[in-house]
Amino acid sequence: MSPELPKLVINIDDLGMCHGANAAYLALFQAGRCDSGSVMVPCPWFLEITAAGVADPALKLGVHLTITAEKRFYRWRPLTAPGPGSGLVDPQGYFWGSVPEVRRRADPQAVEKELRAQIDGFLAAGLTPTHLDAHQGAVLAPEFAPITIALGREYGVPILFPRTIDGYGPIHNLGPLDPAIYADRAADLARSGALLVDRVLETPWHQDGTAEDRYRALFAEIGPGVNFMALHANAPGEIEAIEPASARIRTDEYAVLGASAWIDDLEVERGTLKDFSMALSAS
């Protein structure tokens, strides 16, 4: 990796969640405004994004490991169909609606079985993952992070793991944490030669100021080392019914990313986690 410029991955999360997420990613990738996308294997529009990925091997897709279903009426279930005793599902058989709920209840063995099924389902669709990352950060919670790290090693896929937990944007989803646990795991990963991400910059989940100003401020947070932007762009359409309170944030993000030519002029090195991991291994 070049030591001079910050490394940047502009990633679109939640692919497969709905058609609008897929459409936004495909348009932004073709325009060069993003570098990779993270696919939710258990979700209803998984087949659409995988068909696109098989048709165009140049698409850069990772696995958005998913053990929560946070929408009110638009939900998804585990691939492994676990029973209530697994703690992985709510009384209706869906994933729990928040990370603290799944942290309190889920048996780690059930989580491991489900995550393995999601990775295997992605591979069986004919795709090669650029990375593994965590929907709502759930599989990086202390109870499940060792499973995620082990699966990344087993499958030979880079995982999105922060150098420090304070630099992890989705931390707000997780509930109480001991930063020392993450420091120890990051040190272990570094010793093994794994890529660590210096900061994970997430979608601004507010509508203060103009959308353009919000994203200029977000991109201004890029710093030395490896930066991963966990964004949630979505084309207008069904998202307004799925997520009424925050749909506008997602559609504004799509519009800003598509229209902002200044993104192309950033003084950064763009790529995927796989690109940067391979460069680190070769250096």
pLDDT for 3 equals: 62
Q: 3-state secondary structure string, the chain?
A: CCCCCCEEEEEEEEECCCHHHHHHHHHHHHCCCCCEEEECCCCCCHHHHHHHHHHCCCCCEEEEECCCCCCCCCCCCCCCCCCHHHCCECCCCCECCCHHHHHHHCCHHHHHHHHHHHHHHHHHCCCCCCCEEEHHHHHHCCCCHHHHHHHHHHHCCCECCECCHHHEHHHHHCCCCCHHHHHHHHHHHHHCCCCCECEEEECCCCCCCCHHHHHHHHHCCCCCCEEEEEECCCCCCCHHHHCCCCHHHHHHHHHHHHHCHHHHHCCCEECCHHHHHHHHHHC
pLDDT for 282 equals: 85
pTM: 0.97
pLDDT for 125 equals: 98
pLDDT for 281 equals: 87
pLDDT for 152 equals: 98
pLDDT for 45 equals: 98
Domain architecture of the chain: domains with CATH: 7-282 (3.20.20.370)
pLDDT for 283 equals: 76
pLDDT per residue, tens digit, the chain (283 aa), is 556 899 999 999 999 999 999 999 999 999 999 999 999 999 999 999 999 999 999 999 999 999 999 999 999 999 999 999 999 999 999 999 999 999 999 999 999 999 999 999 999 999 999 999 999 999 999 999 999 999 999 999 999 999 999 999 999 999 999 999 999 999 999 999 999 999 999 999 999 999 999 999 999 999 999 999 999 999 999 999 999 999 999 999 999 999 999 999 999 999 999 999 999 988 7
